[in-house]
Amino acid sequence: MRFLPPRSAAVLSAAITALAATPSHGYFTVGQPIPLDATRPQTMPGSLRGVRVPVRVHGQAATGAAELVAALGEAERAYEAIVDRLGFTPPLFDATRGGGPELDIYLTDESSFVRVDPDGLDYGEAWDCSAAVVRVRRGLSAAQRRRAITEGVAHASLLAADARTTRAYRVAFASAIAARVLGEGADEEGLVRASAEVSNGLFSESTDEAARGEAVFFDLLASRYDDGSLSLWRGLAVAPIARTEGGASRLEDEPDSFDLLRRLLRSEPGGLDGFILEYTAARAVAGTPGDRFDTVGFRALAKLAAEPMRTIVARDLPEWVLSQRPLPQGGAALVAVDTNGLREGTLSLWFHGASWRRWTVAALRLDAFDRDRGRAPAPPVNDGEWSTTMELGPGDSRVLVVIVDQGNQLLDLDRPTNRDGSFALNLSLSNAR
């Protein structure tokens, strides 16, 4: 019998231990990676500490005193609004890693508008939560800096409540909180960037800038189910807490925010799947007169709407539309049919999706201003097959088909899917005049 050398045996033993401690689902690991302690930027000696609330502002070399003083005042006001007035979780103390236990905000030369990183888990708490390091770009205008700092404080509060969520989810949620606190609309640049990424999946944006565009998910949720005090948002931030056992390589994945949303929306048409379909449809007309987002201070800018992957003139039908690429879970595709010039007609649609995926599909009749004139029923798609017919009238400008891949299990960003979904859409027109 052969024996492994001591070094190889130790490596193999460590690998087996790590594998055994890794949460899994089928062949895939689940849960978010355990965050490492954040690196802190080099700053000038000294800092400004808040008097009313536990925040501290640092500056890199050559940062002006006026900018530091203004940033401290904005940080104090943001903390008071988010924690003291709205009742969100106070950011965790970080011992003395930033010179004191307060929330540290650094004015830096980094390119990001604002970036927040977890500063390691607090293993003394009863659940997975983390302190935060906030970086804000130097030289911003007063309005930009106020928005960045407010979002930074909100993000730090979310990490103090639950550090297991995805980064894109936290960025979007923090952006929504900042917009409400300041009485401003959603980040328009973020909306434009996120609109270009609807096919990538909900809360899966590659950059913080695009993730801010998903803030309107929380606005739609608040407009339907919340009150003026944002009690639903507070509950969404703290309810799905859990604790990861020692020795695990990834954070515990259950329960999570989608579990909470699934239960909250269980009595709504289509449940969480139906809400995500409605959210995607709303994204397609964001900024138009048909906009359904109830956001504070939102401005109507049609460029915010997500672009269809394909636009077809109704008189050119029939047409066979194939997905440009397989969709990930939460990913969406939009197909538009231009009906301008038609007095009437019957539009028939047949959807064929990968049978191992869960799909939701809707077809909306829109007028020239993208206002909803009616829609086909959107029951659950069974075995990847769905079809409907729609009677068109002279007031219809286009028909928008919204397709959402809900994954091959319950939608869960902590659980990768093993096969992405492809689809085809068949469209035809009859009785056209």
pLDDT(294) > 80 = no
Q: Could you report the per-residue pLDDT of 399-416, keeping only the tens digit for each?
A: 999 999 998 877 877 777
- Cβ density class 406-422: b for 16+ within 10 Å, e for less: bbbeebbbbbebeebbb
The domains of the chain, with CATH numbers, are 21-279 (1.10.390), 308-430 (2.60.120.380)
Taking all residues of the chain, what is their mean pLDDT, rounded to a whole number? Answer: 86
**Which whole number is the average pLDDT over 161-177?**
94
pLDDT(300) > 80 = no
Distance CA 419, CA 357 (A): 8
Which string of DSSP letters, residue by residue, matches 199-268? GG-TT--SSHHHHGGGHHHHHHHHHHH--TT-HHHHHHHHTT---PPTT-SB----S-HHHHHHHHTTTS
Look at residues 219, 227, 258, 266 and name the one whose alpha carbon lies nearest to residue 240.
Answer: 258
DSSP letter assigned to residue 315? G
Percent of the chain with pLDDT over 90: 52
Pick 64 or 83 by higher pLDDT.
Answer: 83
3-class secondary structure per residue, 41-81: CCCCCCCEECCCCCEEEEECCCCCHHHHHHHHHHHHHHHHH
Residue 428's CB: how many other CB atoms inside 10 A? 14
Which pLDDT does position 415 carry in this prediction? 76
Of the pLDDT bands very low, low, confident and very high (cuts 50, 70, 90), residue 146 is: very high
HSE (CB half, 13 Å, CA atoms) of 22? 17
pLDDT(91) > 60 = yes
Which pLDDT does position 413 carry in this prediction? 76
Look at residues 122, 186, 109, 188 and name the one whose alpha carbon lies nearest to residue 156.
Answer: 122
pTM of the model: 0.88
**Which whole number is the average pLDDT over 149-174?**
95
CA-to-CA dists, residue 407 to 297, 306, 357, 368, angstroms: 34, 21, 5, 33
Q: Could you report the per-residue pLDDT of 375-408, keeping only the tens digit for each?
A: 988 888 888 999 999 999 999 999 999 999 998 8
- Write down the residue that tokens 């004139």 correspond to: 373
Of the pLDDT bands very low, low, confident and very high (cuts 50, 70, 90), residue 306 is: confident
User: What are the backbone angles phi and psi of residue 332, rounded to the nearest 5°?
Assistant: -130, 155
Q: Could you report the per-residue pLDDT of 222-267, keeping only the tens digit for each?
A: 888 888 889 999 999 999 999 988 878 888 888 888 888 999 999 8
Of the pLDDT bands very low, low, confident and very high (cuts 50, 70, 90), residue 417 is: confident
Distance CA 165, CA 256 (A): 7
Which pLDDT does position 302 carry in this prediction? 54
**Which whole number is the average pLDDT over 305-311?**
90
Contact between 345 and 433 under an 8 Å Cβ cutoff? The reply is yes
Of the pLDDT bands very low, low, confident and very high (cuts 50, 70, 90), residue 55 is: very high
The H-assigned helical ranges of 118-230 are 142-161, 167-182, 188-195, 208-211, 215-225
pLDDT(431) > 80 = yes
Pick 378 or 422 by higher pLDDT.
Answer: 422
Look at residues 227, 231, 215 and name the one whose alpha carbon lies nearest to residue 176.
Answer: 215
Contact between 368 and 396 under an 8 Å Cβ cutoff? The reply is no
β-bridge mates for residue 108, sequence order: 137
Find the angle CA(18)-CA(22)-CA(24) to the nearest 5 degrees: 145
**Which whole number is the average pLDDT over 342-367?**
94
Which pLDDT does position 6 carry in this prediction? 39
Lowest mean pLDDT among 18-22, 130-134, 233-237, 323-327: 18-22
Amino acid identity at 30: V
**Encoding tokens for residue 123?**
């293993």
pLDDT(140) > 90 = yes
Of the pLDDT bands very low, low, confident and very high (cuts 50, 70, 90), residue 5 is: very low
Distance CA 43, CA 45 (A): 6
**Encoding tokens for residue 269?**
């048409």
pLDDT(53) > 90 = yes
pLDDT(296) > 80 = no
Amino acid identity at 66: A
